[in-house]
A and B are shown apart, each in its own frame.
Chain A
Amino acid sequence: MIEAMKLEEFTCDFKEDVSSRIPEANFDLCLTCGTCTGGCPASEQYGMDPRKFLRMLLLGMDDEIRKSPWAWVCTMCGRCMSACPMKINIPKLIYNVRASWDRDKRPKGIRGSCDQHIKSGNAMGVPKEDFVFTIEDVAREIRETQPEFSDLEVTADRVGAYMVLNQNSREPVTEPDELGPLWKILHKVKADWTHPTVMWGGENYCMFLADEEGWRYIMEEFVYHIEHNLKCKVVVNTE
């Protein structure tokens, strides 16, 4: 038989803690309408859904919340919040739950990618020289085999270029041939652009890992490089 919970046994420390960091979150305003749950593809996974998760927060079930692997199944996509009549910020709640995990207990794959990004500027852990070698190599092959692009120019860290590309690091590593089509489009429109080589990976696993410090470090390094070294006007997100 399920034992009834005695509410006086619970304090809502975790709720207070998260609320102090997101004052606009208004967790208490939940109407329990279930709109979030009805439109969430993560509902029912691990027996959890967004409304239930929020209920647990409000009941002070801090341990259960912080232990639930569901925080890593929710993608923080924001659909619940955009449909919620009270605009309750469930994605930020999830982010804070992730941040409450010991860093070395957070999923290995995400943590590894975050660590690589901090260390080498991209989640795949590619050294800068290899990245530059790859783009030069792919560009040379295009120039040699596709006559229409015999004058294709691809540069890295060209100071003063108007645009820099914020590029997912999986392309140069796992499918370098996928770099070509975008370059050729940029060539056709005569864009003035370059690849940055500092924090050039467009992905950000430190954000998914809820590693505040790592995330901020990556951002600061990237901004400094674009702003002070390259002096570019536009950062183009390629996805």
Chain B
Amino acid sequence: MKKYKIPHTFEFKSIIELYAQWIKDGTLKVNSDWNKDLKIKFTVQDPCNIGRKIGTNKIVDDLRFVVKAVVGEENFVDMVPNRSNNFCCGGGGGALQGGHTEQRRAYGKVKFDQIIETGAKYVITPCHNCHAQIEDMCHHHGGDYHTLHLWTVICLAMGILGENERTYLGPDLAELGLDIEGGIQ
């Protein structure tokens, strides 16, 4: 848009800044009580597009705010380096479709090692591309973490995650918040 200077009056927002705004003003009611005793650890993947490439840490800081609100501050483990200094997961720039699979996986090993280092059981990936790459890294390099979309964790924390919306949860969380009939508690 900027590149081609196409005139427009609408503005772009990231869903992540909206989540943060809604949590702060009380419109989106979330809490991390569900994880108080479970103490399941989460880390986040910073998509390059909303970190380094926008030139500020604003959205990736919002991302941390949202994640801490839904999993509990003490259950969030950051990768190092992070935010605008993160390593790309290796799935960007079309790499997932680019055909140089062996090289893409070698590239992603850097991110894989970072994830393993956190000891987290779950990696929250707010970008679809990162999600696909980080899942592939897990299978290929033999990790045992799970890769989640951000909306999954938010709905889980709100107790509104449906039975068929749990594909990426591990066995420890697969049934959390579901009653015996399979409906939502």
Interface residues on A, range: 35 or more
A73 CB contacts on chain B under 8 angstroms? 95, 98, 100, 103-104, 107
The interface bits of chain B over 122-147 (1 if a CB of A lies within 8 angstroms of the residue's CB, else 0) are: 00001111001000000000000000
- Distance, CA A144 to CA B85, complexed state (A): 45
| Contact A235–B48 (Cβ < 8 Å) | no
Which one of A1-9, A56-64, A182-190 is at the B interface?
A182-190
**Quick check: B95 and A75 within 8 Å, CB to CB?**
yes
Give which listed residue, B97, B107, B126, B155, contacts A42 with CB less than 8 A.
B107
Chain A, interface SS category: helix
Cβ contacts A200-233/B at 8 Å (1 or 0 each): 0001010011000001100110010011000011
Choose from A75, A168, A181 the contact partner of B93 (Cβ within 8 Å): A75
Chain B CB within 8 A of A76 CB: yes
Q: Which residues of A contact B160 (CB under 8 A)?
A: 146, 148-149, 184, 188
Closest to A220 in B: B6
Q: Are B97 and A75 in contact (CB under 8 A)?
A: no
List chain A residues, Cβ under 8 A from B14: 236-237
CB of B115 within 8 Å of the partner chain: no
Q: In whole Å, how far is A200's beta carbon from the nearest beta carbon of chain B?
A: 14
A147: min CB distance to chain B, Å: 7
* Contact present for A107 and B128 (CB under 8 Å): no
- Bound state CA distance, A145 and B164, in angstroms? 10
A158 within 8 A of B: no
Interface positions of A from 46 to 64, Cβ below 8 Å from B: 46
Please state if A107 and B4 are interface contacts (CB–CB under 8 Å). no
Question: Quick one: closest A residue to B55, CB to CB?
Answer: A82
Identify the closest chain A residue to B22 (Cβ).
A189
Which A residues from 172 to 206 make CB contacts under 8 A with B? 175, 177-178, 180-182, 184-185, 188-190, 203, 205
Question: Could you tell me which residues of chain A, from 120 to 135, have a CB within 8 Å of some CB in chain B?
Answer: none
Q: Are B27 and A189 interface neighbours, CB within 8 A? A: yes
Contacts of B28 in A (CB 8 A): 185, 188-189
A177 touches B8 (CB 8 A): no
Query: Are B162 and A185 in touch, CB under 8 angstroms?
Result: no
A69 touches B10 (CB 8 A): no
B15 interface hit (Cβ, 8 Å):
yes
- Evaluate whether A233 and B10 lie within 8 angstroms (CB atoms) in the complex, with A107-B97, A109-B98, A185-B19 already known: yes
Nearest-CB residue, chain A, relative to B47? A239
**Closest beta carbon of chain B to A209's beta carbon, Å:** 7
Q: Which residues of B contact A (CB under 8 A)?
A: 1, 4, 6, 8-15, 18-19, 22, 27-29, 47-50, 52-53, 84-88, 90-100, 103-104, 106-111, 126-129, 132, 149, 151-152, 154-155, 158, 160-165, 167, 183-184
A–B Cβ pairs within 8 angstroms, 17 of them: A41-B87, A72-B99, A72-B100, A73-B100, A74-B93, A75-B48, A76-B92, A77-B93, A177-B164, A178-B152, A180-B164, A181-B161, A190-B27, A208-B93, A236-B13, A236-B14, A239-B15
> What 20 new A-B contacts, CB under 8 Å, besides A77-B87, A188-B29, A219-B1?
A142-B162, A146-B162, A146-B184, A147-B183, A163-B13, A168-B128, A170-B128, A177-B165, A177-B167, A178-B149, A178-B151, A178-B152, A181-B154, A184-B160, A189-B22, A220-B4, A223-B8, A235-B11, A236-B18, A239-B47
